């Protein structure tokens, strides 16, 4: 009877979480496109003007003096770019982006229906991510369940997994992970899922894991931007934002991680142009996903306390703390934050030698207003809040080979393990 009740619950959940997608436009092809890393040197303004004049897509924002820009150049604009960018040092990341996407391993293989380590051998369709979470719960029915954090603009449930230890659920302080905020960052989906998989499957055999799960309750949401993620799999592999319509503009989407109601109105950390990838929205919290995710964090904080929040991103290999909205202010406990980050990146490096840099968001990467880490720390009152930029540093960028999924998950766990062992 117990098996029947579980099966019935899962079947009910499957029907309740039917995937909703848009009518598909023609799939964006990147055949012949190049991705180039261009060093700005001391002439960042000139490089940024070339990028703007040619209306080129960039993968990591505008160039700064001494920095670089990762630029996507279509075949039709390659000659013009080469002529205008002559003199800039250039490294080819993807000779043919279309080929790289095809070689990514994609999500062609059907899910075998078993939540084991083979899951991390390839990327997967969104429907199979939901099935993986359900199967993980089915394998651990007494200490886990499917949880949702509201719905997306297209009506897809923001689905995650909740699990707990010997004290039962709703008792211990919470740890919340968000993955795939930016739709094209597929590695974050897999790494978030690896954390859940590792903790649950090793709970009965690893005393350290058991101590963590007994001490905290975990809420892991591998895909908090389901509409955007689905769109990357059906239409445009490099889509970043959600799929929300913008009044008065034909451009679609808000950057969910510039829309949180925390320092949203501060200038310089997001875009007011609906066509830009870092578009902040018309009002703070006006993305359905942001509203739902913020409400969930606040509810968890009130009910059981929010010990740790991590927002997973790619790429650049960074381990970052508040704040993003300002480069001139840090939390009162910044020394402790940096000590934890320093230990975590050392733990990550000890696994495969992968080097992560660390520091506050604004001074480490760029100014980012309306972001989730600042909200979790300043508004929800999380004891600790971090954001990670996973592999790599630019050799592959967003199109990270599937062979790097498992190593990314394993080394990320080393960093998380350090945090769990050393947070006060």
Candidates 104, 185, 289, 389; catalytic one: 389
CB-based contacts of 205: which residues, under 8 Å, 6+ apart? none
Cα separations (Å) of 253 from 58, 256, 288?
17, 9, 11
Residue 188 sits at the vertex; the CA angle it makes with 91 and 236, to the nearest 5 degrees, is: 65
Instruction: State the sign of the Cα–Cα–Cα–Cα dihedral 331, 332, 334, 336.
Output: negative
Rounded Cα–Cα distance for residues 177 and 195 (Å):
9
Angle at alpha carbon of residue 308, lines to 189 and 228, rounded to 5°: 30
Please, what sign has the CA dihedral across residues 345, 383, 193, 262? Answer: negative
C-alpha pair distances (Å), 111 with each of 116, 177, 309: 11, 24, 29
Q: Which residues contact 88 (CB under 8 A, 6 or more apart)?
A: 38, 39, 40, 41, 43, 47
- Nearest of 101, 61, 66 to residue 271 by alpha carbon: 61
d(CA 313, CA 186): 9
HSE at residue 57, side-chain half, CA atoms within 13 A, is 14
Q: What does the alpha-carbon distance between residue 348 and residue 355 come to, in Å, rounded to a whole number?
A: 8
- Other Cβ atoms closer than 10 A to 345: 22
Q: What is the DSSP letter of 264?
A: T
Q: If we measure between CA atoms, which residue out of 230, 225, 238 comes closest to residue 19? A: 230
Active site residue 389: yes
Dihedral angle sign, alpha carbons of residues 19, 21, 26, 27 = negative
Distances (CA, A) of 408 to 116, 312, 351: 16, 12, 10
Return the active site residues: 389
């Amino acid at each position: 009877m117990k098996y029947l009740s579980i099966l019935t619950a899962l079947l009910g959940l499957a029907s309740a979480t039917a995937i909703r997608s848009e009518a598909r436009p023609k799939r964006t092809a990147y055949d012949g496109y190049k991705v180039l890393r261009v060093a700005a040197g001391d002439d960042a303004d000139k490089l940024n003007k070339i990028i703007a004049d040619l209306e080129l897509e960039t993968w990591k924002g505008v160039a700064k003096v001494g920095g670089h820009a990762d630029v996507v150049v279509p075949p039709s604009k390659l000659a013009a770019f080469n002529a205008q960018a002559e003199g800039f040092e250039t490294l080819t990341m993807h000779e043919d982006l279309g080929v790289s996407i095809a070689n990514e391993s994609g999500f062609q293989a059907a899910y075998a229906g078993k939540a084991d380590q083979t899951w991390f051998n390839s990327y997967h369709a969104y429907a199979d991510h939901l099935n993986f979470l359900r199967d993980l719960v089915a394998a651990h029915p007494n200490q886990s369940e499917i949880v949702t954090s509201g719905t997306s603009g297209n009506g897809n449930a923001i689905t995650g997994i909740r699990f707990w230890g010997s004290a039962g659920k709703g008792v211990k302080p919470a740890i919340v992970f968000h993955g795939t905020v930016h739709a094209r960052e597929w590695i974050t989906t897999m790494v978030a899922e690896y954390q859940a998989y590792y903790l649950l499957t090793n709970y009965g055999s690893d005393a350290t894991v058991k101590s963590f799960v007994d001490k905290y309750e975990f809420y892991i949401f591998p895909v908090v931007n389901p509409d955007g993620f689905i769109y990357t799999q059906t239409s445009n592999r490099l889509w970043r934002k959600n799929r929300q319509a913008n009044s008065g503009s034909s451009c679609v989407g808000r950057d969910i991680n510039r829309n949180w109601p925390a320092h949203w109105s501060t200038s310089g950390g997001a875009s007011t142009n609906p066509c830009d990838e870092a578009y902040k929205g018309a009002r703070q919290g006006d993305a359905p996903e942001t509203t739902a995710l913020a409400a969930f964090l606040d509810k968890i904080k009130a009910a059981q306390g929010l010990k740790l929040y991590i927002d997973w991103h790619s790429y650049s290999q960074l381990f970052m703390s508040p704040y993003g909205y300002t480069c001139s202010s840090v939390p009162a406990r910044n020394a402790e934050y940096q000590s934890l980050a320093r230990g975590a990146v050392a733990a990550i490096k000890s696994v495969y030698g992968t080097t992560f840099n660390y520091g506050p968001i604004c001074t480490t990467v760029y100014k980012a207003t309306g972001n989730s880490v600042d909200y979790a720390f300043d508004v929800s009152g999380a004891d600790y809040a971090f954001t990670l930029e996973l592999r790599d540093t630019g050799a592959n960028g967003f199109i990270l080979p599937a062979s790097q999924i498992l190593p990314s998950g394993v080394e990320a766990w080393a960093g998380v393990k350090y945090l769990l062992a050393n947070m006060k």
